[in-house]
Structure 1
Amino acid sequence: MSGAPTRLSRLLAMVPYFLAHPGVAKTQAAADLGVTPAQLQDDLMQLWMCGLPGYSPGDLIDLDFMDRDTVDVTFSAGMDRPLRLTPAEASVLLMALRALLDMGGVVDPDAAQRAIAKIERAVGDAALGSASSTAPSPPATSADGWDGVVRDALRTHRALWLRYYSASRDAVSERTVDPIRIQAVDGQSYLEGWCRESEGVRLFRFDRIDEARLLDEPADDHAASDRGSSSLSLFGDDVESLPTVDLLIEPDVAWVVDYHLIDVVDPGADGGPLRGRMTYGSDEWLTRFLLGFGGRIRPVDAPGVGAEIHRRAQAALHAYPDVTA
């Protein structure tokens, strides 16, 4: 049932769409409506059985689409116009569009601004109240404005060269990427793409792109089965090749497992520390990460990192003579 509202909304919009595009090819209609040709055929069959109360053949929506590559509406049963947004629905949509603009890179700013203007005109500023009283914020972009280059690569289906800062490795690398889509995660914009160097899907955060350049070659297509899950890429762009470390985590900072790539190996007992296994990028990054918790997270099987943490902690204490005296 989770897909029912989406299909219902699509069915309600289909008759006005086909009335506005008489004789449209099924392939074009499927692309415009965001479905596969097979799903479009199923929707048309479903729509063919809908109509006014009474439900005799003369009351049903009539479509000319069987054994044809095109679609025409011969009887609309009164569904001649798309449904109108209520003021409440329009307000929610406007807030969502403005939030996407604020994130930057997720949507084309010009297209979003045009959509906002159309919604406000269609519903009316008076009906929208405070939702339209504030002008939309200018879109946030990466420091050097590479957002537009990334969108151009997606739109033209071209490969992309990136100079990218990886936080997990604390290093800058150069990548050739086949763009797949743009995602918004926790208020940040990411490019999801196939990294040719890593031979897998990676997520590249917009504000960590130092430079982006379109290449004079088409982006390769990658089957969904090849893409796998890109969720791990949020924590680093080379997860499969990164080292791991076991950690003892005190209960008062156990929340860290929800925010970092840490699997709980042993939940602990009687208020003792839990044991987790963490994927990380470099010893330098791990050292800085653990120092920030003041001993409440300790490495189990990384003696070199443990010794470096001890050395830096001692050096920090010696910076305060009154404490070490």
Structure 2
Amino acid sequence: MTPISTRLVRLLNMVPYFQANPRITKAEAAKDLGVTPKQLEQDLNQLWMCGLPGYYPGDLIDFSFSGDTIEVTFSAGMDRPLKLTSPEATGLLVALRALADIPGVVDPQAARSAIAKIAAAAGAAGSAGQGGTVGAVDEPAPVENRATAAVRTAVHEKRALTIDYYAASRDTLTTRTVDPIRVLLIGGQSYLEAWSREADGVRLFRFDRIVDATVLDEPAAPPEPALQAPPDTSLFDGDPSLPSATLRLAPSVTWMFEYYPMRELQELPDGSCEVEMTYASEEWMTRLVLGFGSAVQVLAPESLAQRVRGAAIGALDAYQAADLA
């Protein structure tokens, strides 16, 4: 689970901000940065643990506090542009390319522009003898559909949103008004976490099930407790102390994702998918799998697969015996 937020961008900008505004008060800084005083304190505590290799007190970012004012006493180089080595540039390019292909996380055009600039700069540095080159690749940005672009805009601008959402569990398309909170990346899928006005609670909406979206001309207004609470992804978290099974789900039962704690392993060409799911006992899991018939197949462990096969054969024998009676 990988939450996508603006905190990293804010942290990177905080040192230059405080250098440009020496001895600014905490209240003024929090207002300018668009955070609460409590969040500002958390950000400052985080920055205190960041700095140069060695990570001794003299290597870490430091601040001076006088009364309620803040002043940077050591920036650790965060007040000037960083020079990436070729390995660092390669890692950054890999991350950017991955983000550009995930719906709703970043603007694909902006990501591709950054990729081209970093690759070109790293290639130039490598040719100057700084070790290795990273060639610039002229690759087109993925096409972002209208719904994804609208959701990303609403999250960035903190505006309310209406979405047409396909609920696989009920095979229905509903229109909902939501107040976006953040975008989450869970198990390779991107989700919009938002306050649903219809449900009066926080819900997760998979990007690939948002059929259409419209940004409203009103600010997003999720309740403060929903904003401050960490993302609730308990549905996706399996208990490591429990056994797990590898299942193959037919397209007709992929709605199981919304009801059971499972992790997608791969999607197959025919629309089916392989997943990993934890369970408390083989007896319970056997009953669950049998209830879906041929739509769910147990791939592992073999002990569970044999138990399901045995139970299915027993049920067929019982039906045949009843027909002969």
Q: CA RMSD in A?
A: 5.0
Relative distance call for 1:276 and 1:231 in structure 2 (3 A) is: farther
**Inter-partner Cα distance in structure 2 for 1:208 and 1:166:** 7
The aligned residue for residue 26 of structure 1 is 29
**Inter-partner Cα distance in structure 2 for 1:214 and 1:89:** 37
Shift of 1:206: 1.9
Shift of 1:238: 11
TM-score by length of 1: 0.58
- Contact 2:116-2:137 within 8 A present in 1 as well: no
**Inter-partner Cα distance in structure 1 for 2:169 and 2:208:** 15
Query: What amino acid is the match of 2:157?
Result: T
The aligned residue for residue 290 of structure 1 is 293
TM-score by length of 2: 0.58
The aligned residue for residue 106 of structure 2 is 107
Say yes or no: does 1:134 pair with 2:146.
no
Relative distance call for 1:68 and 1:155 in structure 2 (3 A) is: same
**Inter-partner Cα distance in structure 1 for 2:287 and 2:183:** 31
- The CA deviation string for residues 250-283 of structure 1, in whole angstroms up to 9 with x for no partner, is xxxxxx9x837x6524236xxxx953658xxxxx
Relative distance call for 1:118 and 1:46 in structure 2 (3 A) is: same
Shift of 1:107: 0.9
**Partner SS state of residue 198, structure 2:** coil
Relative distance call for 1:195 and 1:87 in structure 2 (3 A) is: same
Say yes or no: does 1:38 pair with 2:54.
no
Q: Unaligned regions of 5+ residues in structure 2, if any?
A: 1-9, 238-253, 261-271, 299-304, 320-325
Shift of 1:173: 1.6
**Inter-partner Cα distance in structure 1 for 2:31 and 2:21:** 10
Shift of 1:14: 6.5
The aligned residue for residue 275 of structure 2 is 259
**Inter-partner Cα distance in structure 1 for 2:29 and 2:86:** 34
Shift of 1:178: 1.4
Q: 1:188-267 to 2 correspondence within 5 Å?
A: 188-222=189-223, 223-224=225-226, 229-232=232-235, 259=275, 264-267=279-282
**Inter-partner Cα distance in structure 2 for 1:191 and 1:114:** 25
Q: Unaligned regions of 5+ residues in structure 1, if any?
A: 1-9, 245-255, 279-285, 301-305, 311-325
Percent sequence identity over aligned pairs: 42
- Contact 1:146-1:211 within 8 A present in 2 as well: yes
The aligned residue for residue 66 of structure 1 is 66
**Inter-partner Cα distance in structure 2 for 1:265 and 1:53:** 47
**Inter-partner Cα distance in structure 2 for 1:236 and 1:199:** 23
**Inter-partner Cα distance in structure 2 for 1:79 and 1:218:** 33
**Partner SS state of residue 259, structure 1:** strand
The aligned residue for residue 167 of structure 1 is 168
Shift of 1:94: 0.8
- The CA deviation string for residues 214-266 of structure 1, in whole angstroms up to 9 with x for no partner, is 23333222314777624538986996xx7x9xxxxxxxxxxx9x837x65242
- The CA deviation string for residues 265-319 of structure 1, in whole angstroms up to 9 with x for no partner, is 4236xxxx953658xxxxxxx98x5333479769x9xxxxx99xx9xxxxxxxxx
How many residue pairs end up in the alignment?
Answer: 256
**Inter-partner Cα distance in structure 2 for 1:290 and 1:215:** 44
Relative distance call for 1:236 and 1:219 in structure 2 (3 A) is: farther
**Partner SS state of residue 87, structure 2:** helix
Shift of 1:155: 2.2
Shift of 1:118: 4.5
**Partner SS state of residue 179, structure 1:** strand
The aligned residue for residue 266 of structure 2 is none
Shift of 1:149: 0.8
Shift of 1:108: 2.0
Specify the structure having the higher radius of gyration (Cα). 1
